[in-house]
Structure 1
Amino acid sequence: MNRIIDIFSFSEEYPLIFTQADFWIFFAVIYFLYALLYRKKSLRSAYLFGISLLFYYKTSGFFIGILLFSTINDYFLGKAIYHSKSITKQKLLVAISVIINLSTLCYFKYAYFFTDSYNYLFQTDHEVINYLAQWANTWSQVDYFTVDKIILPVGISFYTFQTISYSIDIYRKEIKPLNSIIDFGFFVSFFPQLVAGPIVRASEFVPQIRKEISITREEFGKAGFMILKGLIKKMLFADYIAANFMDRVFDVPEMFSGFTNIMAMFGYSLQIYGDFSGYTDVAIGIALLMGYKLPVNFNSPYKAIHCGDFWKRWHISLSSWLRDYLYIPIGGNRSGSIFSYTFILFFTFLGALAIGDYGVAVLATAVVAVLLIFTLFSKRLAWHFNRNVNIMITMLVGGLWHGASWKFVIWGGLNGIGIVVYKYWRKISPYENSNLWIATFWKVGLTFVFITFTRIYFRGNSMDHINRFYQQIATNMDMQNALAVLYEYRLVFIVMAIGYLTHWLPYKTKDWIEAMFIKSHIMIKGVIAMIVAIICYQTYAADFQPFIYFQF
């Protein structure tokens, strides 16, 4: 009984994580109760809303207040948008929703980024103060919250985008507002995907809230398959190779050869895929067990034949969200806008300043400004510029969404450049329309290598850390000891090879494996689950390995 109480109590050191036994005890208890009441729609929503709040409290403590604030705010704004007869008022209310949500996100996620950028730009030494915590301490007359730092609430980037989509979808008349704040709270906080996605749009999930729940044998089998697949991805292909190889290399890249650093980067591509897609697979499986369908978030991204194709396969819920709520509204591939031009000038200046000095920043901004002026006199140049500027903005914002640092902006910008370059390359590529396997192999391989090496800006702790990584590759490859490295970490590289081979299996083979599991007898499913549990336990790292995307 004490174990159950501990599991349902808040612990900063032991949050509920899919890879821990505590979570599955938690889920078994709530699923048993869910099975007794799921036919009663209102009670079902209230129950899952309450459980989701408890789950988030277990993960983030009193940051649950921010989640409730977003829930209450957008519930009433959504109703106001729907009932307003004035288009101008509707737009104003949507703007208020976006501003409140993004301001909350910026306060918690980007306060240090903006402050550091301001200090660097104007040579000041301002420090971040948590005014919200200061106000809470004054109001409660207890110094409970720390005022000298701002802690990022888990999952705030995910549920903020969900609540924004709700207001915009109502404005676009794609959905009607929910009549119950409990139903809306359930949509915002649904616990399987709350802290690391996938990002669920209101138009996709809201229609499911009041439907009749009926879980078929096929859906039950698919849910089990997704959960087991997700655990293998996370615990075997992500955590094992990270704990036994990559973390050691990335901590001190200068202590390892350039060859070892390169192998660590290829390992990191598998780790981050296994970690993030593993989480979403488990989330999709758990949701399906309760009768709800979450969107697919990954589609074999390392089979992509170019950078744009990669972003149609990787973190699909974010890529499609940015496309529909940012890229298309600011002009898409048709035209630029005042926002587009202002944004690109601003980020050109700050980005150049981050990697150079004022002279470099002014020169880079002047070049872009002159290019913009030329577009006024050349329709062809304007067409090319407008087609690509919005892609770059979307990828820069996507990079900044992942982390409040210029290295993430650079990472997003590199991916944007990759997309733009391919748009022109495909017009002259001699193998663009070739169906030969060697052409496909080349395109997939080139895309994979490009994506892998841009990820050093994602994984590196700082720009200095990233520079040390590249310095080792440039000056100390030490190829004569490459075989010794492969042998020393042979188990890690075997796991990596298995991970990539399973990823590159044909879709027909993967579908056949899934279909066989779904059709199998319940006893066979149980045996497979036990085997997976044993494998995961044997590779379980002693150190706690949180999901990478929890930090976003």
Structure 2
Amino acid sequence: MNRLKDIFSFSEDYPLIFTQADFWIFFAVIYFLYAILYSKKNLRSAYLFAISLLFYYKTSGLFIGILLFSTVNDFFLGKAIYNSTSILTKKLLVTVSVIINLGTLCYFKYAYFFTESYNNLFNTDYQVINYLAQFANSWASVDYFTVDAIILPVGISFYTFQTISYSVDIYRKQIKPLKSIIDFGFFVSFFPQLVAGPIVRAADFVPQIRKEIRVTKEDFGSATFMILKGLIKKMLFADFIAMNFMDRVFDVPEMFSGFTNIMAMIGYSLQIYGDFSGYTDIAIGLALLMGYKLPVNFDSPYKAIHCGDFWKRWHISLSSWLKDYLYIPIGGNRNGSIFSYVFITVFTFLGVFAYVDFGVAIIATAGIGLLLIVTLFSSKLAWHFNRNVNIMITMLIGGLWHGASWKFVIWGGLNGLGVVAYKYWRKISPYENSNSWLAITWKIAFTFIFITFTRIYFRGNSMDHINRFYQAIMTNMDWTNALVVLWEYRIVFVVMLFGYITHWLPYRTKDWLLDQFIKSNIIIKGLIAVIVAIICYQTYAADFQPFIYFQF
């Protein structure tokens, strides 16, 4: 009983993580009760909403208030948008929704980034103060919240985008608002995907809330398969190789040879895929066990043949969200917009000034301005400029979504350049339309190398750390000891090789494995689950490894 009490009460040291036994005890208890009442729609929604709030409270404590604020705010704004007969009022209300949601996100996620950038720009020394915590302490006459630091609530980037899409979709007349705030709260907070996605749109999930729940044998088999696959990805392909190899290299890259650093980057591509894809596999499996379908978030991204293809396969729910709610509204591949021109001009000035100096920033900004003037006299140049600028803006903001730092902006910008460059390269590529295995292998390899080596801006702790990593590669390759490195970390590299082989298996092979698992006897399923549990337990560390995307 004490164990259950600990599991269902808040503790900063013991959050509910998919890879820990506590979560599965938690899920077993709530699933048992769910199996009793799932046929009663109102009670089902209320129960899952309450459980989701408990789950988030276990993960984030009193930050649950931010989640409830977003829920209440957008529920009533959504109704107001739908009921308004004035187009101007509708636009005003949806603007209010976007401003409140993004304002909340920016306060918690980007306060340090904006303050640091302002200090660098104007040579000031302002410090971040948590005025919201200060107000809460004063209002409640307590000293509970820390006022000299702003802590990022887990999952705020994900549920903020969900609530924004709800209001926008109502404005676009793609959906009708939910009548019950309980149903809406359930949609926003559904616990399997709450803290790390996938980002679920109302148009996809809302119709499922009131449907009859029926978990078929195929659903149960597919859900179990997804959960087991997710655990293997996270605990074997991500945590094991990180703890036993990559973390050591990334901590002090200059202490290792260039070859070792390159292998660490290749390993990191597998780690971050296993970590994030593993989470969403488990989330999709858990939701399916309860009768709900979440969107696919990964489609073998390292099979991508160019950078644009990669972003159609990686974090699909974010990529499609940015396309529908940012890229297309600012003009897409056809037109520019005032937002596009202002954003690219201001961002160019701030970025160059932050990392070079004021004079160069002025020159770069003037160059953008001159280019804008030239586009007024050339429709063809304007088309190229608008399309590419809109792509770059989308990727830059996508990079900033991942982290409040210029290194994430650089990472997003490099990927944007990769997307733009391919659009021109494919017009002159001699093997663009070739279906030979050699050409496809080359495309996949080149794309993988590009994606892998831009990720140092994602993984590096600071620009200095990133520079030390690249310096180690450029000045200390030491190929003579490559075999020694391979032998020293042979188990890690075998796991890495196995991870990439399973990733690059043909779709038909993966579908066959899933089909065989679904058709198998329940005893076989149980044995496979036990084997997976044993493998995962053997790689388990005393200090649990949180999912990488929890920080976003």
**TM-score computed with the length of structure 2 as normaliser:** 1.00
Question: Partner residue of 2:144?
Answer: 144
Alpha-carbon distance in structure 1 between the residues aligned to 2:525 and 2:353: 57
1:181 aligns with 2:214: no
Question: Partner residue of 2:72?
Answer: 72
Which stretch of structure 1 is more off in the superposition, 209-218 or 360-369? 360-369
Matches within 5 A, 1:387-402: 387-402=387-402
Question: Partner residue of 2:219?
Answer: 219
Matches within 5 A, 1:331-346: 331-346=331-346
Alpha-carbon distance in structure 2 between the residues aligned to 1:509 and 1:343: 46
Question: Partner residue of 2:480?
Answer: 480
- Using the TM superposition, give the Cα deviation of residue 351 of structure 1 relative to its aligned residue in structure 2, in angstroms: 1.4
Question: Partner residue of 1:548?
Answer: 548
Kept in 1: contact 2:397–2:409 (CA 8 A): yes
Question: Partner residue of 1:163?
Answer: 163
Question: Partner residue of 2:239?
Answer: 239
Query: For each residue in 1:449-478, what CA deviation from the matched residue of structure 2 results, as whole angstroms up to 9, or x when unmatched?
Result: 000000000000000000000001111111
The SS at the match of 1:206 is helix
1:250 aligns with 2:246: no
* AA matched with 2:469: F
Matches within 5 A, 1:48-87: 48-87=48-87
**TM-score computed with the length of structure 1 as normaliser:** 1.00
Matches within 5 A, 1:37-52: 37-52=37-52
Alpha-carbon distance in structure 2 between the residues aligned to 1:542 and 1:396: 37
Query: For each residue in 1:52-81, what CA deviation from the matched residue of structure 2 results, as whole angstroms up to 9, or x when unmatched?
Result: 000000000000000000000000000000
Question: Partner residue of 1:100?
Answer: 100
Question: Partner residue of 1:519?
Answer: 519
- Using the TM superposition, give the Cα deviation of residue 293 of structure 1 relative to its aligned residue in structure 2, in angstroms: 0.2
* AA matched with 1:177: P
The SS at the match of 1:293 is coil
* AA matched with 2:291: G
Alpha-carbon distance in structure 1 between the residues aligned to 2:418 and 2:287: 35
The SS at the match of 1:312 is helix
- Using the TM superposition, give the Cα deviation of residue 82 of structure 1 relative to its aligned residue in structure 2, in angstroms: 0.4
Identity of aligned residues (%): 83
Alpha-carbon distance in structure 2 between the residues aligned to 1:417 and 1:173: 35
Question: Partner residue of 2:431?
Answer: 431
- Using the TM superposition, give the Cα deviation of residue 269 of structure 1 relative to its aligned residue in structure 2, in angstroms: 0.1
Query: For each residue in 1:220-262, what CA deviation from the matched residue of structure 2 results, as whole angstroms up to 9, or x when unmatched?
Result: 0000000000000000000000000000000111111111111
Question: Partner residue of 2:448?
Answer: 448
- Using the TM superposition, give the Cα deviation of residue 312 of structure 1 relative to its aligned residue in structure 2, in angstroms: 0.1
Alpha-carbon distance in structure 1 between the residues aligned to 2:237 and 2:189: 29
- Using the TM superposition, give the Cα deviation of residue 353 of structure 1 relative to its aligned residue in structure 2, in angstroms: 1.8
Alpha-carbon distance in structure 1 between the residues aligned to 2:218 and 2:440: 34
Unaligned runs of 5+ in 1: none
Query: For each residue in 1:22-72, what CA deviation from the matched residue of structure 2 results, as whole angstroms up to 9, or x when unmatched?
Result: 000000000000000000000000000000000000000000000000000
Matches within 5 A, 1:312-327: 312-327=312-327
- Using the TM superposition, give the Cα deviation of residue 349 of structure 1 relative to its aligned residue in structure 2, in angstroms: 1.0
Alpha-carbon distance in structure 2 between the residues aligned to 1:152 and 1:448: 31
- Using the TM superposition, give the Cα deviation of residue 365 of structure 1 relative to its aligned residue in structure 2, in angstroms: 1.3
Kept in 1: contact 2:267–2:496 (CA 8 A): yes
- Using the TM superposition, give the Cα deviation of residue 355 of structure 1 relative to its aligned residue in structure 2, in angstroms: 2.1
Alpha-carbon distance in structure 2 between the residues aligned to 1:258 and 1:366: 39
1:416 aligns with 2:416: yes
Query: For each residue in 1:427-453, what CA deviation from the matched residue of structure 2 results, as whole angstroms up to 9, or x when unmatched?
Result: 000000001100000000000000000
* AA matched with 1:460: G
- Using the TM superposition, give the Cα deviation of residue 354 of structure 1 relative to its aligned residue in structure 2, in angstroms: 2.5
The SS at the match of 2:313 is coil
* AA matched with 1:96: V
* AA matched with 1:264: A
Question: Partner residue of 1:290?
Answer: 290
* AA matched with 1:61: G
- Using the TM superposition, give the Cα deviation of residue 542 of structure 1 relative to its aligned residue in structure 2, in angstroms: 2.6
* AA matched with 2:224: G
The SS at the match of 1:220 is helix
Question: Partner residue of 1:509?
Answer: 509
- Using the TM superposition, give the Cα deviation of residue 541 of structure 1 relative to its aligned residue in structure 2, in angstroms: 2.0
Query: For each residue in 1:502-532, what CA deviation from the matched residue of structure 2 results, as whole angstroms up to 9, or x when unmatched?
Result: 0000000000000000010101000000000
* AA matched with 1:446: F
Question: Partner residue of 2:118?
Answer: 118
Query: For each residue in 1:288-312, what CA deviation from the matched residue of structure 2 results, as whole angstroms up to 9, or x when unmatched?
Result: 0000000000000000000000000
Alpha-carbon distance in structure 1 between the residues aligned to 2:462 and 2:397: 19
Q: How many residues align?
A: 552
- Using the TM superposition, give the Cα deviation of residue 350 of structure 1 relative to its aligned residue in structure 2, in angstroms: 1.3
Kept in 1: contact 2:121–2:354 (CA 8 A): no
* AA matched with 2:45: S
Question: Partner residue of 1:265?
Answer: 265
Question: Partner residue of 1:25?
Answer: 25
Question: Partner residue of 2:301?
Answer: 301
Question: Partner residue of 1:469?
Answer: 469
Query: For each residue in 1:248-288, what CA deviation from the matched residue of structure 2 results, as whole angstroms up to 9, or x when unmatched?
Result: 00011111111111100000000000000000000000000
- Using the TM superposition, give the Cα deviation of residue 372 of structure 1 relative to its aligned residue in structure 2, in angstroms: 1.0
The SS at the match of 1:15 is coil
Question: Partner residue of 1:405?
Answer: 405
The SS at the match of 1:110 is helix
Question: Partner residue of 2:350?
Answer: 350
Kept in 1: contact 2:239–2:271 (CA 8 A): yes
Matches within 5 A, 1:523-534: 523-534=523-534
Which stretch of structure 1 is more off in the superposition, 379-388 or 149-158? 379-388
RMSD across aligned C-alpha pairs, in angstroms?
Answer: 0.5
